[in-house]
Structure formats: C-alpha cells, structure tokens
Amino acid sequence: MAGTSSDLRVGAVVKLNGELMKVVKYEHVTPGKGPAHHQCKLRNLKTGKMYENRFRTGETVEFIRVENRNYQYLYRDGDSLFFMNLDDYNQIPVQADIIGDDKDYMKENQDVQLSFVGDEVIAVELPSAVNLRVLHTEPGLKGDTATNVLKPATVETGAVIQVPLFINENEMIRVDTTNGNYIERVKE
C-alpha cells in the first residue's frame, strides 16, 4: 500500500530497502533554510537494529498492513516458541530469531501480541513491563542501600538483570521489557 512521507506516524510499518521497518520516532522538520523533511528513527523488524532516515516531503513510501492478534506464550522447544491463539486455541510455532532479545522476558502463560503480515509472524509485542522471580543473586550487605550500586540477578526466564543491592533470591521484581532495566520490587 503506497502513501507519502506525510502519512508516516509512530508505529507504522514501512518497507525500506527491501526490509520491514517500524517507525519508532517521527519528527517533521522545517529548517530555516531548505525544504521541509520528515526525520524518522526506524527499527528493523528482522534484526532489531535501529536506523535513522530522512524522507523528503511528498516522497512515496510503501506502507505494510500489519495485523496484531492476541496470543498466549506456551513453551519453548529448541529454536521454536509456541503460542496459542486466545480466540480459537490454535497453536503456532515462531522461530526464536524473529522474537530476538524479547524472549528473555517471556514466561509461560504470558499474554502477548503477535504481528502478522499475511500469515507470517514478523514480531512479538510484549507488555511494557513484566514481573519475574529472582532465582539467583549474591546477598546484599546490610546498610548498603544508600548508593545506586547494582548487582547481577538471574531471573526465572534465564535473563541476567542488574538490580539494587537490597534485592534477594525468590523476590519478584518488575522489569522494563524495552531495555531490560529493573523498575521495582513487587509485593506478593
């Protein structure tokens, strides 16, 4: 579906240089000298790499129709992760390389959104934050809470996250899925 650069918005998926890209940041720039243009920060949906691109005003852009559907993550088997459609209970496998680093924050029975182009899964959208249990971390020293010193902690999905010194094993923490940062301790 063709459009112009004026139709660009955050969240739109476009085809650029043969690759599917999602617009992460969009800005219409009108410099004091020269023509106006559209400055975009794009994320390659296959590799996850970030790119910056400048579109001229009125430039033709190929938009891709993406359909988001609700699924539930079930389990992992080798390089495939299995998801169940919440409407008809059909299960589908998705290759781990499509999901990228987001698989480090997925636990069984978690609701996610799968993005489809036709019948092909191109991306998995996680909630902005997930609650994960700390399986292993070094104990913090008493009184070591005044500074912002962090230590590594292994969570139930196998990911290693930097947490404050006061976090102990078997505690639940909230993790930001966009950057993998610790947000807060969760009371159970």
CATH number at residue 105: 2.40.50.140
Whole-number pLDDT of residue 34: 84
Number of C-beta neighbours around residue 145 at 10 A: 12
Give the model's pLDDT for residue 41. 92
Q: Specify whether 104 is located in the same domain as 135.
A: no
CA-CA-CA-CA dihedral for 44, 46, 49, 55, to nearest 10: -10
6 and 59: one domain? Answer: yes
Same domain, 72 and 58: no
> Which residue segment(s) compose the domain that 38 sits in?
2-63
Number of domains in the chain: 3
Position 136 scores a pLDDT of 92
54 and 85 in a common domain: no
C-alpha–C-alpha distance, residues 154 and 160, integer Å:
4
Q: Tens digit of pLDDT per residue, the chain (188 long)? A: 788 888 888 888 899 888 888 888 889 888 888 888 999 999 887 777 888 999 988 888 899 888 889 999 999 888 889 999 988 989 999 888 777 777 888 888 989 999 888 888 888 888 888 999 999 988 866 665 566 788 899 998 888 999 888 888 899 999 998 888 889 988 87
* CA angle centred on 25, ends 20 and 29, rounded to 5°: 115
pLDDT at 101: 77
Same domain, 75 and 106: yes
Nearest-angstrom CA–CA distance, 21 and 114: 16
Q: Is the pTM of this model over 0.75?
A: no
Identify whether residues 21 and 53 lie together within a single domain.
yes
